[in-house]
Amino acid sequence: MRAAGVKRAVLTLGALGILLYIGALLSGGYQQTLVADQELDVPRVMKRFHDLEATVNNLQDLKGDLDIYVKSLEEQNPGLRIARVRHDEQQGLAYARASGWRAATADVVAILDAHIEVHEMWAEPLLTQIKADRTVVVSPVFDRVNFDDLKVIQYQPAAHAFDWALWCMYEGFSPEYTKLGDGSLPGKSPSVMGILVAERKFLGEIGLLDEGMKVYGGENVELGIRVWTCGGSIEVVPCSKIAHIERNHKPYMPDLSPAMKRNALRVAEVWMDEYKHNINLAWNLPFENHGIDIGDVSERKKLRERLNCKPFKWYLENIYPKLDPWDNLLAYGGMKNLDANMCIDQGPVPGHTPIAYNCYYYGPQFTYYRENGELYIGGIKSHKYNDNRCLTDVGKKETKPGLYNCKEAMQKGMGIYWDFTQEQKMQVRRLEDGIGSSLRTLAGVAGGSDLSGDQGISLGATGGAGVVVMVMWSKIGPSPADQRMRMELDRLVSSCGAPLGQHHQDAGPQ
């Protein structure tokens, strides 16, 4: 591809690495102005910047050597001007990208990673969408480049999605898109994975990026929610493709989880309204006094008010209905048998037999109780299309409870709805032959005095069970059977901070 009328590219340098902003890429084509005297071979220049990433690892080379190298690129491409924005300390990904936006001057800004290469004709489809609608933020399709052998793995077009911990992932486009039967059409996406192209002024009007984000993570989801609720839209454009190196390890810090957790809480506080506690739930944090400083969000809240943005409930219902709102959860935490002083645990995986085990209140013992009586052990899924694992009464002949995907259990006629009253027996509601119901009680631990290892859990006739209590991380709502749901926050291990379920932090760019 040869692109005309390129005025300036912005190279932003900082402790996070090298980020390239082609602020005026194809600005001549976008504005339909006269072609410049010199044309720029974009793939070749992008390749040269890709080669620069190795240089960036040595910070000394970011000084005079880099200046000489950039000057040589300008001499080889008279239509190209590169503005360098230097950071002398780590400010975070969002701040670095925002500084590149400020240095850009053209109508369209492209925010890219350094570790990419572009396919031919990658920019024109993106610019076409922006020309038709200045409020759309667009992203190309990312092919994966293996970090070890540089082999290119082609990816199919997909929406950029996320879970309640705000880890990004790929997801299929909506059923409405599929019915169109044309895979070349742009598809609506609930979020964007960091590589994006937008009209420069529009991006500024809606608040650019949240520069209060630290290090890495969450800024892309925040942008997605803000664009959609504040009057814009996000599209993935299949006719635009880049190749992105998924690095073996992101260099920003040894473990990204603390920064990601903090940024996710910041997004929740500004944008998620009554659903903000789902972030706490996903990161295993108490709803109040979680002890994490998310920074000052007052200006971001004022921005939301000034833009007259729609509520997050509208976003869930209209833009991202695949995300389970978790709005009928009554409680989550650990479930403990007080007589045996042991907790229910998901047991070996793969497997379908929960066990009683010493209470330690980490992932395999996470328990979630829904208003309809479903009880999940070992985690809860963020998306409606993923099935949770329900505690089940397998049947009359089986004396041990099971742990099965809820839909599978329903199809096999297992009992999955439990009546639970704090500090009392827990009983399953089981319809038989469509007439009436029978109750079987979770009978706690067989031989519960032994705390040295795994213990069995049994189901028995009503009246023979031990006392069960939910050791609560946080009270979500009252049980329909008992308003006395008790919080025991002293039992909380609040520092574990691991997100629930599988996350895909390397599914996208950055």
Q: Band the pLDDT of 70: cuts 50, 70, 90.
A: confident
- Nearest 10 degrees: Cα torsion 405, 407, 412, 415: 80
pLDDT of 402 strictly over 60: yes
Same-domain check for residues 336 and 450: yes
Pairing between β-strand 367-370 and β-strand 168-171 as defined by DSSP bridges? unpaired
More confident residue, 291 or 4: 291
Query: What span, in angstroms and rounded, lies between the C-alpha atoms of 50 and 54?
Result: 8
Q: Which of 301, 117, 97 is nearest to 203 (CA)?
A: 97
The Cα–Cα gap between 66 and 333 comes to 53
The pair of structure tokens assigned to 413 is 């006629």
Confidence of residue 378 (pLDDT cuts 50, 70, 90): very high
For residue 15 the two structure tokens come to 């402790």
The predicted model gives 5-30 an average pLDDT of: 39
pLDDT at 13: 43
| Residue 505 domain-assigned (yes or no) | no
pLDDT score at 410: 92
Query: What confidence score (pLDDT) does residue 12 get?
Result: 52
Across 201-225, average pLDDT: 95
What is the DSSP code string of 117-135? EEPTT-HHHHHHHHHH-TT
Task: Specify whether 65 is located in the same domain as 124.
Answer: yes
Q: Check: CB of residue 195 under 8 Å from CB of residue 112.
A: yes
Q: Do 228 and 294 lie in a common domain?
A: no
Rounded CA-CA distance 82/12 in Å is 10
pLDDT at residue 207 is higher than 80: yes
Is the domain of 49 the same as that of 114? yes
What pLDDT, on a 0 to 100 scale, did the predictor assign at position 478?
36
Measure the CA–CA gap between 270 and 123, rounded to whole angstroms. Answer: 33
Domain co-membership, 382 together with 430? yes
For the stretch 93-125, pLDDT in tens is 899 899 989 999 889 999 988 788 888 899 999
Tokens read off for 113: 């990673």
Segment among 73-87, 123-137, 486-500 with least mean pLDDT: 486-500
How far is Cα 400 from Cα 120, in angstroms, rounded to an integer? 60
**CA 482-484-486 angle, 5° bins:** 125
Q: Is 294 left (phi over 0), alpha (psi -120 to 50) or beta?
A: alpha
- How many other CB atoms are there within 10 angstroms of residue 490's CB atom? 6
Domain boundary among 223, 246, 269: 246
Domain membership flag for residue 3: no
pLDDT grade for 312, boundaries at 50, 70 and 90: very high
Amino acid identity of residue 311, one-letter, is P
Confidence of residue 466 (pLDDT cuts 50, 70, 90): low
| 360/278 same-domain check | no
pLDDT at residue 260, rounded to an integer: 94
Structure confidence at residue 289 as a pLDDT band (50, 70, 90): confident
Considering only 20-29, 130-139, 267-276, which range has the smallest mean pLDDT?
Answer: 20-29
Query: Do residues 339 and 310 share a domain?
Result: no
Task: Please say if the pLDDT value at position 280 is more than 70.
Answer: yes
Can you give the pLDDT at residue 204? Answer: 97
Residue 121 counted as domain residue: yes
Mean pLDDT across the stretch 70-95? 86
Q: Is the pLDDT of residue 132 over 80?
A: yes
CATH, residue 453: 2.80.10.50
pLDDT of 493 above 50: no
Residues 444-461 have pLDDT tens digits of: 543 332 223 445 565 544
Question: Angle, nearest 10°, between helix axes 42-56 and 64-76?
Answer: 170
Interior angle at CA 477, CA 324 and CA 317, nearest 5: 25
Q: How far apart are CA 432 and CA 413, in angstroms?
A: 9
More confident residue, 443 or 220: 220
User: Average pLDDT of 72-91?
Assistant: 85
Q: β-strand 233-246 against 136-146: which pairing, if any? A: parallel
Lowest mean pLDDT among 84-93, 173-182, 273-282, 385-394: 84-93
Same domain for 338 and 307:
no
In a domain, 334, yes or no: yes
Is the same domain home to 344 and 300?
no
The pLDDT of residue 66 is: 81
Q: Please check whether residue 208 is in contact with residue 107, taking contact to mean a CB–CB distance below 8 angstroms.
A: no
Q: Are residues 45 and 93 in the same domain?
A: yes
State yes or no: pLDDT of 14 exceeds 50. no
Q: How much is the average pLDDT of 484-505?
A: 30
Pairing of strands 329-337, 233-246: unpaired
Question: What is the domain extent for residue 198?
Answer: 9-246
Region 311-318: mean pLDDT is 98
What pLDDT is stored for residue 442 in this prediction? Answer: 65
Query: What's 297's DSSP letter?
Result: -
Tokens of 206: 């809606």
Tokens of 53: 């990433």
* Alpha-carbon span 113 to 15, nearest angstrom: 14
Task: Judge whether residue 194 has pLDDT over 90.
Answer: no
pLDDT higher for 43 or 300?
300
Q: Please give the pLDDT value at position 92.
A: 85
pLDDT beyond 50 at 263: yes
Residue among 332, 211, 210 at smallest CA distance from 271: 210
Give the chain's mean pLDDT: 77
* pLDDT, mean of residues 127-144: 96
CB distance 474 to 453 below 8 Å = no
The b-or-e profile of 63-99 (16+ CB within 10 A means b, else e) is eeebeebbeebeeebebbebbebeeeeebbbbbbbbb
Contact 236, 160 (CB under 8 A): yes
C-alpha–C-alpha distance, residues 63 and 56, integer Å: 10
What CATH number did the domain enclosing 228 receive? 3.90.550.10
- Report yes or no on 423 lying in a domain: yes
SS3 376: strand
pLDDT band at 143, cuts 50/70/90? very high
Number of structural domains (the chain) is: 3
pLDDT (mean) for 18-31? 34
Tokens of 147: 């970090």
* Mean pLDDT, residues 362-366 taken together: 90
